[in-house]
Chain A
Amino acid sequence: GQQLNQSPQSMFIQEGEDVSMNCTSSSIFNTWLWYKQEPGEGPVLLIALYKAGELTSNGRLTAQFGITRKDSFLNISASIPSDVGIYFCAGRGIQGAQKLVFGQGTRLTINP
């Protein structure tokens, strides 16, 4: 079945540093999404990407849909304490538009 490999699994950074995480797939996706999940909450959508090569920003967050349609990355610039959480990539494949396939998550910890 479709699987997403997300890396790194965890990151420990200083406040103000930039962050980069990525996701790769063995199969093609039509949509890439990035979510953030905090304790006791469901995932919250950060950025949605619909076209290969698309680069989209949301404040300090930037994400790109890889041109091969098998990968995506998320960058966070000038990290702040409220960026702490678990970030998930998710993709929607050619078959089965209904379901989102999620990566394993990247846990971000920030030292003030």
Chain B
Amino acid sequence: ETGVTQSPTHLIKTRGQQVTLRCSSQSGHNTVSWYQQALGQGPQFIFQYYREEENGRGNFPPRFSGLQFPNYSSELNVNALELDDSALYLCASSATSGFQETQYFGPGTRLLVL
């Protein structure tokens, strides 16, 4: 148990729809990172939020957006869903942003786009 929770656990959407995924970070952590994990692959970095600001972004289009709230929980929003967006979405929280910060992962939200 890492103390990182995500909701919902599973979600089915159709192409073109929009989705919001939620993450509650571990107590005392102010940084949340989001990753996309396709079946059979390693996680791919989407972006990171540190103290409510985006603090680094991976190679994902602008239809992937996020928010971090004052309590450091976070949302990942994906617009205009495509079939390839089907994946496990992981969030990870850490005490800060930096080279030696440890990222603790939640169980993920499995998204299926039909």
Partner of B45, one of A43, A88, A101, A103: A101
Taken together as a complex, chains A and B put the C-alpha atoms of A43 and B98 apart, in Å, by 19
Partner of A102, one of B40, B44, B99, B102: B44
Q: Tell me if B108 and A42 are in contact (CB < 8 A).
A: yes
- Secondary structure at the B interface, as helix, strand, loop or mixed, is loop
Cβ of A63 under 8 Å from chain B: no
- Determine the chain A residues whose CB is within 8 A of the CB of B40 once the complex forms: 104-105
Cβ of B16 under 8 Å from chain A: no
- Determine the chain A residues whose CB is within 8 A of the CB of B50 once the complex forms: 98
Partner of B42, one of A41, A96, A97, A104: A104
Cβ of A100 under 8 Å from chain B: yes
Q: Which residues A73-109 have CB closer than 8 A to chain B?
A: 88, 90, 92, 96-105
B101 to chain A, nearest CB (A): 8
- Determine the chain A residues whose CB is within 8 A of the CB of B102 once the complex forms: 45, 48
